[in-house]
Amino acid sequence: MPWRKAEKNMEANTSVPVSEEDRRLKISLKNVFKVFGERPDKALAMVKSGKSKTEIHAETGCAIGVNDASFDVKDGEIFVIMGLSGSGKSTLLRLLNRLIEPTAGSIEIDGRDITKMSRKELIDVRRRDISMVFQSFALLPNRTVLNNAAFGLEVAGVGEAERTEKAMVALRAVGLEGYADSRPNQLSGGMKQRVGLARALASEPTILLMDEAFSALDPLIRTEMQDELVRLQAEHSRTIVFVSHDLDEAMRIGDRICIMQNGSVIQVGTPDEIVTQPANDYVRSFFRNVDVTQVFKAGDIARQTQVTIIDRQGVSVAAALERMQNFDREYAIVLGRDKKYHGMVSQTSLVEKVRTGSTDPYRNAFLADIEPIAASEPLATVLGRVAGSTWPLPVVDEQGRYVGSISKSVLLETLDRAS
Amino acid sequence: MNFDIGDGVDTIVNYILDNFSPALEGIAAIIGFVTDGIQDTLAALPMLVGLAIFVLLSLWRVGTGFAVFTGVALWLVDTMGLWPAMMETLSLVIASTVIAMLIGLPLGIAMAAKDSVASSIRPVLDLMQTMPAFVYLIPAAMFFGLGAVPGTIATVIFSMPPVVRLTNLGIRQVDVEFVEAGQAFGCTASQLLFKVQLPNALPSIMAGINQTIMLSLSMVVIASMIGAGGLGNTVLTGIQRLDVGTGFEGGLAVVILAVVLDRITQSFGKERPVFWRTFFPKAARQQTEQAPA
């Protein structure tokens, strides 16, 4: 739908990377408002004429929950809505399945405007396409874990045998199949939220709304659940809209982040964009305390400053040695023709192997104990390895191709720039 | 300016008596059928069977100690020769509680669903609870004659407010996230009510039913003045003859019935083991031991 793309480019407060442009739109919000209070029409007119929230509240007694929100969520992405408490993020999330009725604007899901749907159509969409995970779990205490997981299916009228089977599959996916007959109050916080997740997954929705889903959990369990979510997302691509007040969490799991302030959308962008080009001081204030080692991945800071040697027949070791000496490097990375990482050699190891007359001196000269780092690994987990290594460490992507290296000096530079 | 409200009420009562007597007789017949049915069943129950039922219920819902108390206390009532009167009172309590629930639960649900319904019903409930009972005992007797039927109706009026109020309150107090979860997963209004709101409001609703039972027990005694019968009669006889002993015996039996009913009905708002596990704990233990494997 070309017209939609054109419109998207006109939005001032969204910055969408061009390469992502081709992914299908899943959710599309246009000029969405939510006014709480008795006289929403008057308040809405005042908002549109640019009156401040205080003026509107004084005159109409209405509060503006969401103020002119427009953005798109793409199919299969994790979209994080972030803001301080009271910024309207939970309200915005509830507009997406109309738990809260929007006052104005359109919310399209798969191209259908849900704000215009009848009650019956809406219930249908809620049963089939959208499910939700809650901050305080909202597991029904009078039901067993299994019956909680099967709740959505039961409400949709799915027969008992089928819903039990699907609920068990969902419980297995979150690792709780052994607790099917337990009651929610017998589980720990993390386990409860796994049940919440299973309940949301059981009806196999295409959209998952998560309202501060991990905020009530202690930090260790929270990280574990974030990993779990990312894993589940890798297995089964869904569109996830995740509300959070925690930037570390947003950076960790979000493909894109939407930052809200006082009911307005301030900035939408990838974690990198938000960090490198914050829209205003409010956005900047968020990551003043952010741990950069969580934001950056190994691939982000790897540099191609090391000498590389292509591993092929007929290239003499002498030529390689000369290259290293020319660039004044003690080490070189040996790559295949397909850029796949093969190993790392040093001048000393090469010379030594040539002197002992071993065949295929390259392979025998590979330095032992060098494990390449995956590009997707967060910086936090590789800090120690880089700091403890004599050599710069090579970084490879998922296909094993060489991305660059991280040396101690690169690492220090990154940490220094961030503070 | 003077409004003669009393004359107005007289006129209304007379108008109803003159024009709606078939309707009143119909209502009386239905309520009479319910109360008679319950009364006959309980009267036919041998004393030992009735005692056993109460003791088993106490053992299941409350505990061993209370079961012993129930057994001794009810045996005491029997030795005072008040068992039949107590059964009659119990049947009136059951009949009026059932009717109060049939009317009160839907009313409470309607109040929780709509604020306007709540604000219009609340003053009526206040009136029902605070209007001195003797005031509507008289018209009840005029409409329905003497006996168990007007007694039941007067009792329903007096005892219904708690179940209505606490049903309303219970539903309103259900965690917002539970309701949101129900809606988010696609509940219709009635699914939300039966699968989310009522189960979670159950402790509060049970407290309301418990209060209704207690109030109806206190009202049944007063209702004996219009011939409702039961323990109220014993108390009334005691008062009329200035026979302190008889009056005290009747009063004691009321208290015993009240305590037993209160503890047993209160327990239904709490989690208790399934019936058979209370009586066969060994089998229950074996099953839990097998469960983890």
- The per-residue pLDDT for range A318-332, each reduced to its tens digit, is 778 888 887 788 888
The answer to whether residue A144 neighbours chain B at the CB level (below 8 Å) is no
Give the nearest partner residue to A155 out of B175, B195, B202, using CB atoms: B195
- For the residues A130-145, what does the mean pLDDT come to? 92
User: Which pLDDT tens digit goes with each residue over B62-119?
Assistant: 888 999 999 999 999 999 999 999 999 999 999 999 999 999 999 999 999 999 999 9
**Does residue A16 carry a pLDDT above 70?**
no
Q: What is the pLDDT of residue A2?
A: 40
Provide ipTM, 2 decimals: 0.76
**Does residue A101 carry a pLDDT above 60?**
yes
Q: Token pair of A108, please?
A: 């399209």
Least Cα distance to A139 among B181, B191, B195 occurs for B181
Q: What is the pLDDT of residue A19?
A: 46
pLDDT, mean over chain A: 83
Q: What is the pLDDT of residue A288?
A: 66
- For the residues A386-396, what does the mean pLDDT come to? 83
% of chain A with per-residue pLDDT over 70: 89
Cβ of A138 within 8 Å of Cβ of B175? The answer is yes
CA distances from residue B185 to A100, B103, B252 in whole angstroms, order as listed: 14, 31, 53
Determine phi and psi for A359, rounding to 5 degrees.
Answer: -75, 155
Cβ of B184 within 8 Å of Cβ of A135? The answer is no
Give the nearest partner residue to A138 out of B180, B186, B195, using CB atoms: B180
A155 to chain B: which residues are within 8 Å by CB? Answer: 182, 185-187, 191, 195
Rounded to whole angstroms, how far apart are CA atoms B159 and B216?
5
Q: In what order do the strands lie in the sheet with A331-335?
A: A307-310, A331-335, A341-346
pTM of the entire predicted model: 0.72
DSSP secondary structure letters along A333-356 = EEE-TT-BEEEEEEHHHHHHHHHT
The angle that helices B198-223 and B231-240 make with each other, rounded to 10 degrees, is: 30
Least Cα distance to B155 among B78, B216, B218, B240 occurs for B216
Say if residues A292 and A418 touch (Cβ distance below 8 Å). Answer: yes
Per-range mean pLDDT, top range of A239-248, A378-387, B163-172, B219-228? B163-172
- For the residues A286-298, what does the mean pLDDT come to? 69
**Does residue A419 carry a pLDDT above 70?**
no
- For the residues A242-265, what does the mean pLDDT come to? 89
Give the nearest partner residue to B185 out of A136, A141, A152, using CB atoms: A152
Q: Which of A81-95, A164-178, A316-330 has the lowest mean pLDDT?
A: A316-330
- For the residues B176-200, what does the mean pLDDT come to? 93
The alpha helices in A174-313, defined as continuous H runs, are 189-202, 219-235, 247-253, 271-276, 281-286, 292-295, 298-301
- For the residues A392-408, what does the mean pLDDT come to? 85
**Does residue A242 carry a pLDDT above 50?**
yes
Q: What is the pLDDT of residue B188?
A: 94
Q: What is the pLDDT of residue A332?
A: 85
Place of tokens 């061009």: A18
Q: Token pair of B90, please?
A: 């119990």
A156 to chain B: which residues are within 8 Å by CB? Answer: 186
Rounded to whole angstroms, how far apart are CA atoms A290 and A56?
35
Name beta bridge partners: A130. A207
How would residue A5 be classed by pLDDT, with cut points 50, 70 and 90?
very low
**In sequence order, which residues have a C-beta less than 8 Å from that of residue A297 and are 6 or more positions away?**
A375, A376, A377, A378, A379
Q: Token pair of B104, please?
A: 């009160």
- For the residues A114-118, what does the mean pLDDT come to? 93
- For the residues B170-197, what does the mean pLDDT come to? 94
Determine phi and psi for B60, rounding to 5 degrees.
Answer: -70, -50
Q: Classify A323 as helix, strand or coil.
A: helix
Rounded to whole angstroms, how far apart are CA atoms A43 and A50?
11
Cβ of B184 within 8 Å of Cβ of A136? The answer is no
**Does residue B172 carry a pLDDT above 70?**
yes
Cβ of B177 within 8 Å of Cβ of A131? The answer is no
Q: What is the pLDDT of residue B256?
A: 94
B39 or A357, higher pLDDT: B39
Q: Which of A165-179, B11-25, B232-246 has the lowest mean pLDDT?
A: B11-25
Rounded to whole angstroms, how far apart are CA atoms A222 and A228?
10
Q: Which of A8-12, A101-105, A385-389, B277-281 has the lowest mean pLDDT?
A: A8-12
Beta-carbon-side half-sphere exposure of residue B260 (alpha carbons within 13 Å): 27
**Does residue A147 carry a pLDDT above 60?**
yes
**Does residue A169 carry a pLDDT above 80?**
yes
Say if residues A102 and A95 touch (Cβ distance below 8 Å). Answer: yes
- Is residue B176 classed exposed, middle or buried when 0-12, 13-18 and 19+ CB atoms within 10 A define those classes? exposed
How would residue B274 be classed by pLDDT, with cut points 50, 70 and 90?
low
